[in-house]
Amino acid sequence: MSSMALGSGFGNVVSLPKNASRNSNGRSFWIRGSAVSSPQILETSNVNSKGSAKSVRVGVLGASGYTGAEIVRLLASHPQFCITLMTADRKAGLSFGSVFPHLITQKLPDMIAVKDADFSNVDAVFCCLPNGTTQEIIKGLPNWLMIVDLSADFRLRNLNEYEEWYGQPHKAPELQKEVIYGLPEVWREEIQNARLVANPGCYPTSVQLPLVPLIKAHLIELKNIIIDAKSGVSGAGRAAKEANLYTEISEGIHAYGITKHRHVPEIEQGLSDASGSNVTVSFTPHLMPMSRGMQSTIYVEMSSGVTHVDLHQHLLSSYEHEEFVRVLDKGAVPHTRNVRGSNYCYMNVFPDRIPGRAIIISVIDNLVKGASGQALQNLNLMLGYPENLGLRHQPLFP
Ligand SMILES: NC(=O)C1=CN([C@@H]2O[C@H](COP(=O)(O)OP(=O)(O)OC[C@H]3O[C@@H](n4cnc5c(N)ncnc54)[C@H](OP(=O)(O)O)[C@@H]3O)[C@@H](O)[C@H]2O)C=CC1
Ligand SMILES: CC(=O)N[C@@H](CCC(=O)OP(=O)(O)O)C(=O)O
């Protein structure tokens, strides 16, 4: 990574991204210089492979949940971010390794209740908290903290719509005004200048990545978009629920949230932004007997004179320079297994047997590109780092 070196309170040299000043928007992380003022948290795990202190101190709120654990897993190989704060609710007081033994080798702070958290040792936070709680918690946080919120609290711009779909008035409308929607392939420039980013939902990520470029290029009709989507059970979080017991989930699939799923307005907001007019979709999610992975099968009508080859070609050229989106070769079927554990979205286009229609298939790992990987991609961008830092894991197979 190209960088400039500054002396620091760590007594080490801290590497800052060369383009750090580009992010100096008055709320700038680097101008504050807070990254260089905390000698007490320096640990071996806070040193990168070059022996320099990692520059950015990160808090993970909701570290005992699935997305929190996934952030911790990804940050283990991040050369510049170290974790200085972890919170939990029922599991506050426990060590992270006792809650997630697969990550026991990492040296990490114990998880504490968010009310006891001291943010003076933190430059940026990932909020991996249940919907509805983040907006209350972050409105009390210092206004210089960089925040990536993985919940749905700040994704909908229209607060009436938020109230309608989430069943409660928004509790931090003043913060909503500064939020940037964190889908890097669409809003990269805005994210680079953001302090507060709303990380997209998993289903909306898998749908917008293929549809936004096609809508922007007027290659598909805005009516009759049908999305049939499927998710692994980790999408529902780690908290115990009867409906998610092995006996309820295994050896079967079922639809849920039919016509009422909270991701409908988020998908429609993204597609409407792309088209400049109101887009509505039919969206039905299904729960699959697998831990992680998500597929959206999307049925579209092509614009007059357009073929599925045009759609494929346009997606190929749109994502030619995107590291995390792979448009597969003609005829290759995207499979959730092939993106498992990675930040990739794989997609492809197929002709329908009905003339004029096409079928688009997009797959992601709901916990990575659908949540924590995308969140890390966003924080990298917000701080001026290459967006793939800590994210180059190849998919796990089998
Ligand atoms: N799972 C997924 O695939 C995706 C999830 N998301 C969103 O990310 C967020 C986190 O999801 P996920 O990790 O799956 O959820 P989990 O249920 O697995 O984890 C929730 C975390 O929040 C903590 N917590 C619960 N209630 C409170 C509270 N009142 N105050 C403070 N902390 C609390 C929990 O602590 P404790 O364990 O101690 O109770 C736990 O650490 C959610 O908003 C979810 O909608 C977004 C995209 C995908
Ligand atoms: C399988 C499952 O239950 N999945 C979750 C989606 C997870 C997600 O992205 O949701 P948020 O919008 O809450 O962040 C659901 O359908 O609610």
What is the longest distance spanned by two Cα atoms in the chain?
67
- Which atom number of ligand 1 is nearest to the Cα of residue 69? 13
Q: How many C-beta atoms lie closer than 10 Å to residue 50's C-beta? A: 9
Task: Determine whether 91 is exposed, middle or buried from the number of CB atoms within 10 Å of its CB (0-12, 13-18, 19+).
Answer: middle
Tell me, using a 6 A CB cutoff, whether residue 235 lines ligand 1. Answer: yes
| Closest ligand by atom to 134 CA | 1
Instruction: Please report, for the chain, the start and end positions of each structural domain, with discontinuous segments joined by +.
Output: 3-200+371-382, 203-366
Strands 225-231 and 281-287: parallel
First to last CA, the chain: 32
In this prediction, residue 225 carries a pLDDT of: 98
Model-level pTM? 0.91
Best mutation site among 262, 263, 287 for ligand 2 pocket (most ligand atoms within 8 Å of CB): 263
Which DSSP helix (H) or strand (E) runs through 40? none
CB 193, CB 21: distance < 8 Å: no
What pLDDT was estimated at residue 231? 98
Tens-of-pLDDT digits for all 398 residues of the chain?
333 332 232 223 334 444 344 343 333 343 233 333 333 333 446 777 777 778 999 999 999 999 999 999 999 999 999 999 999 999 999 999 999 999 998 889 999 999 999 999 999 999 999 999 999 999 989 999 999 999 999 999 999 999 999 999 999 999 999 999 999 999 999 999 999 999 999 999 999 999 999 999 999 999 999 999 999 999 999 999 999 999 999 999 999 999 999 999 999 999 999 999 999 999 999 999 999 999 999 999 999 999 999 999 999 999 999 999 999 999 999 999 999 999 999 999 999 999 999 999 999 999 999 999 999 999 999 999 999 999 998 999 98
Is the CB of 90 within 6 Å of ligand 1?
Answer: yes
* pLDDT for the residue numbered 45: 66
The domain 203-366 having CATH identifier 3.30.360.10: the answer here is: yes
CB burial of residue 355 (10 Å; 0-12, 13-18, 19+): exposed
* Cα dihedral value 213, 215, 221, 226, nearest 10: 70
Domain 3-200+371-382 has CATH 3.40.50.720: yes
Which of 82, 127, 128, 202 is labelled catalytic? 202
Collapse the DSSP code of 129 into the 3-class scheme (helix H, G, I; strand E, B; otherwise coil) and give the result: coil
Q: Which atom of ligand 2 is nearest to the CA of 263?
A: 12
Instruction: Work out whether strand 281-287 and strand 325-327 pair parallel, antiparallel, or are unpaired.
Output: unpaired
Rounded CA-CA distance 63/41 in Å is 19
Task: Decide whether any atom of ligand 2 lies within 6 Å of the 264 Cβ.
Answer: no
CA distances from 305 to 60, 219, 220, 229 (A): 50, 9, 10, 28
Distance of CA 270 to the CA centre of its chain: 15
Which one of the ligands is nearest to 240 CA? Answer: 1
**Would residue 127 show up in a list of annotated catalytic residues for this protein?**
no
Alpha-carbon distance of 301 to 372, in angstroms, equals: 33
> Measured between alpha carbons, how far is 29 from 56 in angstroms, rounded to an integer?
9
Neighbours of 270 (CB within 10 A): 25
**Bridge partners (DSSP) listed for residue 108:** none
Task: Decide: 84 and 43 in contact? Cβ < 8 Å.
Answer: no
State the complex-level ipTM: 0.98
User: Which residue's CA lies nearest to atom 21 of ligand 1?
Assistant: 62
Residue carrying the six token digits 């830092």:
389
Cβ neighbours of residue 264 closer than 8 Å, sequence gap 6 or more: 165, 281, 283
Tokens of 309: 């080859």
